[in-house]
Structure 1
Amino acid sequence: LWNVNLKRITNFTVGLQYRGTLEVLLFSAPITTSCCVFLLVNGTMLHILRSKAVFRETARYVLLYNLLFADTIQMVLSQLLYILSACRIRLTYPVCGFLVMLANLTTGISPLTLVVMSLERYVAVCYPLRHASIVTIRKTALAIIIVWAVSSLNVFIRLILLLNFPFEDLESLQMKDFCSNTPLLLGPMSDHYDKAYTWVLFVSAGVAVTCSYIGVMIAARSASTDKVSACNGRNTLLLHLIQLGLSLSSTIYDPLVTEISKVLDRVTVLRIWSILYVFMILFPRCLSPLIYGIRDQMIRGILMYHLCCQVKLPNSIKLLKY
């Protein structure tokens, strides 16, 4: 199996075709510009969440900061790999491995954080009187540490599987094509583990968020529950489910491109690859600041204040005093 995979890697570039420079610019320029705009929004949101005491001392905003931070790092790494591939810059396996492993680390943070955020909303709606004692800043920090530890363990296992590959049998450590996660699945164990971890992670996260959503819906029908709070909590959890589904779509990005490449010519595949990158990688990472920046009344005014070159808006004047 090692020899078969080694032969596949060595002969992967036979008959490679590339798009023209003008076409690459037409695809890359708007994608890169859009990414920079959303990175600006993400950076502004991160600054807001750390600059105001009301956000630093509220559990759900601390969790939102962790989600935005992971999504921002993931967006930067994805865009870097996209630009490198568009410019036909081939990396070595060690450099590509470092970037991909870092991307895998942040990719796992989003669904796990969404689970914790869903549980926090469940407690807020179903146990409002005990929410302050159950969801504390200290417990929230512990939950974030566990999230990063689980994702780091996944990266560590991937690294061990990667190091088992006989790189000395390769003609060169220089990659034959652009850097992505698929070329680094160098053995059958790596491929099996990647699929197993992905499905276990997202099925577990999906079950957790769905159960929280059902719990909030049941609580919303109770006469003792704040109807407005329950309705807002239900809508928030529904958005978490949508975000989780979009995050799952990014995990099938590389396998989908691989399958398409088997039936279409390379130039067509590269065009489809750019389109899929926008909708399956970039777009899901841009949703968080839009969802929370627009829906959350405490964030909306300050966010617009910063994005509008610090022109004071009525909704933001009071919050800026914190």
Structure 2
Amino acid sequence: MSGEAPARTNVTTGLDLTERVMLSTLTTVSCGIFFFINVTTLFTLRSRRVFCETSRYVLLYNLLLADTLQMSLGQVLYLLSICRVMLTFPVCGLMVMIANLTNEVSPLTLVAMSLERYVAVCFPLRHATIVTARNTVVAVFAVWAVCSLNVVTRVLLLLQFPFEELGSLQMKTICGTMVMFLGPASDMYDRAYTCFLFVSATVAIIASYVAVVIAARAASSADGASALKARNTLLLHLVQLGLSLSSTLHNSLLLLISRVVTTAVLIRILNVLYVFIIVLPRCLSALIYGLRDQTIRPVLFHHLCCCCSLKKVHISP
């Protein structure tokens, strides 16, 4: 088992029942609010034909879908952990693999969105022929296929572990990503793949950003405004990628902090890190594009207001 796994096994032992209930309630309420915003945005992106046929909105839908699934699974794993529910290895492995799949879809989708903006600014006359609805769907399927292949590789590495020596498939520790690294090969592969994924994504987004900046300087005033807007969008993609990367550092930060603080302090810090590193980045995409995009914003606000009105009608006697 990975040397980092013990750091995640008993992170709730220093808290009493009342504090665990309070912390789980606070994180669940936060996650519920973000989940509501994400789901409403997803519904918005399927409510108009322009959203279904425009490439950047199709890619945004894919990004939000992955983020929403990741946030939901993360909250389920968190509640299981704070309630000290022990799963079996197959169930835990399935949940962790799906969580890893959705977590890795986000950076690759950001790369696709950045390339779409690059083509729109640097090759405006060919944008309509290159970035078609069909090519966008192919790109989305390619993203999920690459991430699925990575999950299959992780499963194959996991199957090499001698489970028969355990005596029982019932886990004795809290289910988590680090716990499922049952051998050095799995741990090494995860580190190598994560490093390759985010280095490649960062290089692709930065290269697109530099190309757009150069195009903005050489363009006329009208084209320059469009290029500057695309540049700001790519900068947001880079920030989103950094937030996605921060979620992969969650376990490492936890391990480092666990060496210098008590268990009770550790679990309090863990809850703060969970909200700001795991949950919040999964909702930023909806907030950024929902408030920034002039096409999405009025439709999103309309749906949010309708949902709030319906809730008031149901609540009122």
- Calculate the TM-score normalised by the size of structure 1: 0.90
- Looking at structure 2, the residues matched to 249 and 12 of structure 1 have their Cα atoms a distance apart, in angstroms, of 18
- Looking at structure 1, the residues matched to 134 and 11 of structure 2 have their Cα atoms a distance apart, in angstroms, of 57
| Contact persistence 2:2–2:184 (CA under 8 A) | no
- Looking at structure 2, the residues matched to 250 and 190 of structure 1 have their Cα atoms a distance apart, in angstroms, of 19
- Looking at structure 1, the residues matched to 68 and 11 of structure 2 have their Cα atoms a distance apart, in angstroms, of 36
Matched AA of 1:63 = L
- Looking at structure 2, the residues matched to 106 and 143 of structure 1 have their Cα atoms a distance apart, in angstroms, of 16
Match of 2:121 in 1: 125
Classify 1:14/1:83 alpha carbon distance in 2 versus 1 (closer, same or farther; 3 Å): closer
Corresponding position: 1:193 with 2:189 = yes
> Which among 288, 293, 296 is matched to residue 290 of structure 2?
293
- Looking at structure 2, the residues matched to 44 and 250 of structure 1 have their Cα atoms a distance apart, in angstroms, of 24
The SS at the match of 2:45 is: helix
- Looking at structure 1, the residues matched to 259 and 122 of structure 2 have their Cα atoms a distance apart, in angstroms, of 51
Matches within 5 A, 1:109-148: 109-148=105-144
> Which among 283, 303, 317 is matched to residue 306 of structure 1?
303
Matched AA of 1:266 = T
Matched AA of 1:256 = L
The SS at the match of 1:237 is: helix
Q: How far does residue 54 in structure 1 lie from its aligned partner after superposition?
A: 0.6
Match of 1:247 in 2: 244
The gaps in structure 2 that reach 5 residues or longer are 310-317
Match of 1:262 in 2: 259
- Looking at structure 2, the residues matched to 113 and 15 of structure 1 have their Cα atoms a distance apart, in angstroms, of 33
Matches within 5 A, 1:143-222: 143-222=139-218
The SS at the match of 1:50 is: coil
Corresponding position: 1:31 with 2:27 = yes
Question: Which structure is higher in RCO with an 8 Å CA cutoff and minimum separation 6?
Answer: 2
Matches within 5 A, 1:14-93: 17-93=13-89
> Which among 223, 233, 237 is matched to residue 230 of structure 2?
233
The gaps in structure 1 that reach 5 residues or longer are 313-322
- Looking at structure 2, the residues matched to 163 and 227 of structure 1 have their Cα atoms a distance apart, in angstroms, of 54
| Contact persistence 2:10–2:173 (CA under 8 A) | no
| Contact persistence 1:90–1:176 (CA under 8 A) | yes
Higher mean C-alpha displacement, 40-49 vs 239-248: 40-49
Deviations 1:149-197 (A, max 9, x none): 1100110000011111111111432222211100111111001000000
The SS at the match of 1:51 is: coil
Q: How far does residue 306 in structure 1 lie from its aligned partner after superposition?
A: 1.0
Matched AA of 1:44 = T
- Looking at structure 2, the residues matched to 301 and 258 of structure 1 have their Cα atoms a distance apart, in angstroms, of 44
Matched AA of 1:231 = L
| Contact persistence 1:58–1:137 (CA under 8 A) | yes
Classify 1:117/1:15 alpha carbon distance in 2 versus 1 (closer, same or farther; 3 Å): closer
Match of 2:314 in 1: none
Matched AA of 2:61 = Y
Classify 1:9/1:29 alpha carbon distance in 2 versus 1 (closer, same or farther; 3 Å): closer
Q: How far does residue 128 in structure 1 lie from its aligned partner after superposition?
A: 1.4
Q: How far does residue 27 in structure 1 lie from its aligned partner after superposition?
A: 1.5
Higher mean C-alpha displacement, 36-45 vs 163-172: 163-172
- Looking at structure 2, the residues matched to 77 and 311 of structure 1 have their Cα atoms a distance apart, in angstroms, of 25
Matched AA of 2:26 = P
Match of 2:278 in 1: 281
- Calculate the TM-score normalised by the size of structure 2: 0.92
